[in-house]
Chain A
Amino acid sequence: MKKTIITVVGKDTVGIIAKVCTYLAENQVNILDISQTIVQGYFNMMMIVDANQSEKKFADISEDLEKLGENIGVQIKVQSEDIFNAMHRI
Chain B
Amino acid sequence: MINIFEVNETNNMVEHENLDVRTITMGISLLDCIDSDLDRLNENIYRKITTKAKDLVKVGNEISKEIGIPIVHKRISVTPIGLIGAAACKKPEDFVTIAKTLDRAAKEVGVNFLGGFSALVSKGMTPAEELLIRSIPQALAETDVVCSSINVGSTKTGLNMDAVKLLGEKILETAELTKEQDGLGCAKLVVFCNAPDDNPFMAGAFHGVTEADAIINVGVSGPGVVKNALSKVRGENFEVLCETIKKTAFKITRVGQLVAQEASKRLGVPFGIIDLSLAPTPAVGDSVADILEEIGLERAGAPGTTAALALLNDQVKKGGVMASSYVGGLSGAFIPVSEDQGMIDAVKEGALCLEKLEAMTCVCSVGLDMIAIPGDTKATTISGIIADESAIGMINQKTTAVRVIPVIGKTVGDVVEFGGLLGYAPIMPVNQFSCDAFVNRGGRIPAPIHSFKN
Q: Which A residues fall within an 8 A CB radius of B? A: 5, 7, 9, 33, 35-37, 39, 44-46, 48, 58-59, 62, 77-88
Residues of A within 8 A of B262 (CB): 82
**Contact, CB under 8 Å: A80 / B67:** yes
Cα–Cα distance between A88 and B248 once the two chains are bound (Å): 11
Contact of A83 among B1, B4, B8, B258 (CB under 8 A): B258
**Contact, CB under 8 Å: B2 / A86:** no
**Contact, CB under 8 Å: A84 / B7:** yes
**Contact, CB under 8 Å: B258 / A82:** yes
Cα–Cα distance between A12 and B65 once the two chains are bound (Å): 26
**Contact, CB under 8 Å: B65 / A59:** yes
**Contact, CB under 8 Å: A58 / B255:** no
**Contact, CB under 8 Å: B2 / A5:** yes
Query: B79 contacts the other chain (Cβ, under 8 Å)?
Result: no
Contact of B6 among A62, A80, A88 (CB under 8 A): A88
Least distance between A37 CB and chain B CB atoms (Å): 6
Query: B254 contacts the other chain (Cβ, under 8 Å)?
Result: yes
* Contact sample, A vs B, 11 pairs, CB 8 Å cutoff: A33-B1, A35-B3, A44-B4, A45-B4, A46-B3, A46-B4, A46-B7, A58-B66, A62-B65, A79-B67, A84-B2
**Contact, CB under 8 Å: A7 / B11:** yes
Chain B 58-76, CB-CB to A under 8 Å as 1, else 0, gives 0000100111110000000
Residues of B within 8 A of A62 (CB): 65
User: Given contacts A58-B66, A80-B66, are A87 and B10 in contact (CB under 8 A)?
Assistant: yes
**A36, closest chain B residue (CB):** B4
Interface band, chain B: 20 to 34
Give the dominant DSSP class at B's interface: helix
Residues of B within 8 A of A82 (CB): 66-67, 258, 262
Cα–Cα distance between A7 and B5 once the two chains are bound (Å): 11
Residues of A within 8 A of B2 (CB): 5, 48, 81, 84-85, 88
Residues of B within 8 A of A78 (CB): 68
Cα–Cα distance between A48 and B4 once the two chains are bound (Å): 10
**Contact, CB under 8 Å: B67 / A48:** no
Residues of A within 8 A of B68 (CB): 77-79, 83
Other A-B contacts than A83-B69, A83-B258, 19 sampled, CB-CB below 8 A, are A5-B7, A7-B8, A36-B4, A46-B8, A48-B1, A79-B68, A82-B66, A82-B262, A83-B10, A83-B67, A83-B68, A83-B255, A85-B2, A86-B255, A86-B257, A87-B6, A87-B251, A88-B2, A88-B10
CB proximity to A under 8 Å, residues B3-36: 3-4, 6-11
Residues of B within 8 A of A86 (CB): 254-255, 257-258
Cα–Cα distance between A48 and B3 once the two chains are bound (Å): 9
> Most A CB atoms within 10 A — which of B7, B67, B262?
B7
Least distance between A36 CB and chain B CB atoms (Å): 8
**B67, closest chain A residue (CB):** A83
**Contact, CB under 8 Å: B8 / A44:** yes
Cα–Cα distance between A79 and B262 once the two chains are bound (Å): 14
Residues of B within 8 A of A77 (CB): 11, 68
Least distance between A4 CB and chain B CB atoms (Å): 9
Residues of A within 8 A of B7 (CB): 5, 7, 46, 84
Cα–Cα distance between A44 and B12 once the two chains are bound (Å): 12
**B8, closest chain A residue (CB):** A44
Residues of A within 8 A of B67 (CB): 79-80, 82-83
Task: Name the 10 nearest CB pairs between A and B, nearest first.
Answer: A79-B68, A83-B67, A86-B258, A86-B254, A46-B4, A88-B6, A84-B2, A35-B4, A87-B251, A80-B66
